[in-house]
Structure 1
Amino acid sequence: MSDTTIREYTEESRESTTEREDEEEQESVSTCPECGGRLINDSEHGETICEECGLVVEEDSIDHGPEWRAFDAQEKDEKSRVGAPTTTMMHDKGLSTNIGWQNKDAYGNSLSSRQRQKMQRLRTWNERFRTRDSKERNLKQALGEIDRMASALGLPETVRETASVIYRRALSDNLLPGRSIEGVATAALYAAARQAGTPRSLDEITLVSRVDKMELTRTYRYVVRQLNLEIKPADPESYVPRFASDLDLTEEVTRRSRDLISNAREAGILSGKSPVGLAAAAIYAASLLCNQKVTQSEVSEVANISEVTIRNRYKEILEADASPTV
């Protein structure tokens, strides 16, 4: 037998011996040394005991969980030491220290007047350190404005995050000189809503914004062009569920409205027309077809457009629906 063969045989026997020892050790740990019963972990007392005879095999084991106990989800959240996740909705992304407004200590006791004055000074200096330069102050004001408008428009959290990212890009690319903070923030929110497929009309945005419609449209075009944002034209169908919900219409009307818009798209009459007006006209026409009549004034109030627009558009939509498709 050659030296190589002997060496390979020796290594294989050593490995098999090691595996057998590991198996025996694992088996001895999982079974009771007295009766051979199954061992279980008692996390409450930190012990490993035998399920059959009750022998304590190991004690004072390390508890890797928290030192506190919670009896419901709310209490668990209150005692958790994990902070909130980072978010672009805050100018510092939520990484800085925030001193609470409650004048109480860790035990819930009220602070003395001297301690309250001290905490107020600490809050003031903490706020000054959080916004140390003009860029951070600008960002803080704009993100607060975005959050306020998004709440008034009922936009989801994802749209607010996207709008914050767009505004941060505009700020880093130095697009703000010569434009108001409110104007760029409103344009960022309008662009984010259209990107997310939950658009709001310019009139709806203007109602909650501190800038007029002309400044909003001018700033929006500039931001989209400079940042190369890919935003598709607004789809009239994206407005239909919201309008139908505000008018308390059934799902049948919503479905029929989408069919009318789809037929109008195939007929080629959507180009160059306001998607809000088309959605409102489709809602009105579908409600008539489904015998759930609503007035033109009710639809115009919900969609924030004139009744004349609804009359003109719904006739075109009904004509496209009646015409045969090629």
Structure 2
Amino acid sequence: MSESTIQSRTAEQTGERTADEQFDHDETEVCPECGGDLVTDSERGETVCSECGLVVEEDEIDPGPEWRAFDSAEKDKKSRVGAPTTNMMHDKGLSTNIGWQNKDAYGNSLSSRQREKMQRLRTWNERFRTRDSKERNLKQALGEIDRMASALGLPENVRETASVIYRRALDEDLLPGRSIEGVATASLYAAARQAGNPRSLDEIERVSRIDRMELTRTYRYVVRELNLEVKPADPESYVPRFVSDLDLSEEVSRQARELIESARKEGVLSGKSPVGIAAAAIYAAALLSNERITQGEVSEVANISEVTIRNRYKELLEAKSAGSQQVA
């Protein structure tokens, strides 16, 4: 066969293939009835002709997400492409983690040799996740914050804030001369107060690995050096938790808040422990609501003495009566 014959046949095949591809392209881009332009309706999953309205395709697959987002923050939060970043992990959750289950992708158990290999991989993976002493410090502290927050029942936003406070303290070299547990505990205490979900020093001390003196000293140092804006704890913020622990009614909670507000107007709260005020208000409100409760029960939940409750609840009742006389 001559070279010219081969070239002519190749040209004919190329021309046929090009014509077929052009036909397919034209068929998908224009309406087969009137030759008008096709428009894709993503809401109905249809491809229709803009001229005659012929539905060319229907039940198309939507490759986009099934959720809607109205701003960038909501979009990042709903996106499932990778885990979200978080300040509660030393690497912000960007590293990998090898699971502890000794099973393969099909759920079958690994052999003894494979289990040993996976254990070695886990060990080296943990070593590579922390590059230097600063990251090891941060990993230990954030684990401590998470442990204490779980024991205290604090929400995720408090843990996130505490992690940010500790990171700031680490960046500004506030750790030398102080323990990791001390700065972590102080960060959690400050974060809880900033979020309006405070815990008393006694509660914090009970779950921490440091004593009360070191906690208060480190807390004052961290707040001063980082210029944290921490308002004095409001007694009302303790009321819902104590009422729930004592299994009292909503009426007691309302009465307690009214007693605290009356005492605030009369200037009784100044210099008093907010936990003691909240406990005394709940005890007084229970008496006013005819619900049986003892000072010992309130004392056990609030972790304060019964003497404090007796002194404070009388002051609260006097403040309320004084306020009522002024209104009359």
Q: Tell me the CA shift for residue 270 of structure 1.
A: 0.5
The alpha-carbon distance between structure 1 residues 49 and 157, as it changes in their structure 2 partners (threshold 3 A), is: same
User: Counterpart in 2 of 1:134?
Assistant: 133
Q: Is the 8 A contact 2:31 2:56 kept in 1?
A: no
How far is the alpha carbon of 1:266 from its aligned partner?
Answer: 0.6
Q: Please give the alpha-carbon distance, in whole angstroms, between the structure 2 residues aligned to 1:223 and 1:262.
A: 31
Q: CA deviation at 1:124?
A: 1.0
The change in CA–CA distance for 1:29 and 1:194 in structure 2 (over 3 A counts) is same
1:321 maps to what in 2?
Answer: 320
For residues 69-124 of structure 1, give each alpha carbon's deviation from its aligned partner in whole angstroms, at most 9, with x where no partner exists.
xxxxxxxxxxx973221111100000011111222222333322222222221111
Change (3 A) 1:114 1:63: farther
Unpaired segments ≥5 residues, structure 1: 1-27, 67-79
Question: Contact 1:30 / 1:39 at 8 angstroms: preserved in 2?
Answer: no
1:263 equivalent in structure 2 = 262
2:214 matched to 1:215? Answer: yes
| 1:306 and 2:308 are equivalent in the alignment | no
Cα distance in 1 for partners of 2:80, 2:157 equals: 26
Change (3 A) 1:266 1:125: same
Code of the aligned partner of 1:306: S
Which residue is 2:169 aligned to? 170
CA distance in 1, matches of 2:244, 2:46: 59
One-letter identity of the residue aligned with 1:159: V
What's the counterpart of residue 180 of structure 1? 179
1:63 positional shift: 6.8
- What does residue 113 of structure 1 align with? 112
Residues 246, 301 of structure 2: 8 Å contact kept: yes
Task: Indicate how the Cα distance of structure 1 residues 62 and 295 shifts in structure 2: closer, same or farther if over 3 A, else same.
Answer: closer
Which contiguous aligned blocks of 4+ residues in structure 1 show a shift greater than 3 angstroms? 28-32, 38-42, 46-50, 55-59, 61-66
Deviation at 1:289, TM superposition (A): 0.8
Distance 1:32 1:287 in 2: 80
Q: Is the 8 A contact 1:190 1:205 kept in 2?
A: yes
Q: Distance in 1 between matches of 2:158 and 2:64?
A: 37
Superposed, which structure 2 residues align to 1:1-326 within 5 Å? 33=33, 57=56, 64=63, 82-323=81-322, 324-325=325-326
Whether the 8 Å contact between 1:166 and 1:188 is mirrored in structure 2 is yes
C-alpha contact (below 8 Å) 1:142/1:182 kept by paired residues = yes
Between the aligned partners of 1:58 and 1:279, the Cα distance in structure 2 is 67
Q: Write the deviation string for residues 107-155 of structure 1: whole angstroms up to 9, x where unpaired.
A: 3333222222222211111110101211111111111110011011110
Q: Secondary structure at the match of 1:283?
A: helix
| Shift in CA distance, 218/57, structure 1 to aligned 2, threshold 3 Å | same
Measured at CA, do residues 33 and 182 of structure 1 come closer, stay the same or move farther in structure 2, by a change above 3 Å? same
1 CA distance for matches of 2:224 and 2:202?
22
The alpha-carbon deviation at position 47 of structure 1 amounts to 9.3
Does the C-alpha gap of structure 1 residues 109 and 225 become closer, same or farther in structure 2, counting only changes over 3 Å? Answer: same
- Matched residue pairs, number? 280
Structure 1 residues 39 and 88, CA, compared in 2 at 3 Å: closer, same or farther?
Answer: closer
Counterpart Cα distance in 2 of 1:139 and 1:315 = 47
Q: Partners in 1 of 2:235 and 2:30 — Cα distance?
A: 66
Question: Alpha-carbon deviation of 1:164?
Answer: 0.3
Rounded Cα–Cα distance in structure 1 between residues aligned with 2:110 and 2:311:
67
Distance 1:115 1:58 in 2: 51
Secondary structure of 1:325's partner? helix
State how far apart, in whole Å, the 1-side matches of 2:158 and 2:80 are: 29
Per-residue deviation at 1:198?
0.4
Q: Per the alignment, do residues 58 and 286 of structure 1 end up closer, same or farther by CA in structure 2, a change over 3 Å counting?
A: closer
CA distance in structure 1 between the aligned counterparts of 2:298 and 2:245, rounded to whole angstroms: 9
In structure 2, what is the Cα distance between the partners aligned to 1:39 and 1:162?
49
- Per-residue Cα deviation, 1:44-88 (whole angstroms, up to 9, x for no partner): xx99699xxxx99469x887369xxxxxxxxxxxxx973221111
**TM-score normalised by length of structure 2:** 0.77
Give the AA of the match of 2:306: E
RMSD (Å) for aligned C-alpha atoms: 3.1
What SS does the corresponding residue of 2:326 show, helix, strand or coil? coil
Q: Normalised by the size of structure 1, how large is the TM-score?
A: 0.78
1:213 aligned partner, one-letter code: R
Cα pair distance change 1:122/1:319, threshold 3 Å: same
Give 5+ residue unaligned stretches, structure 2. Answer: 1-27, 66-78
Corresponding residue number in structure 1 for 2:6? none
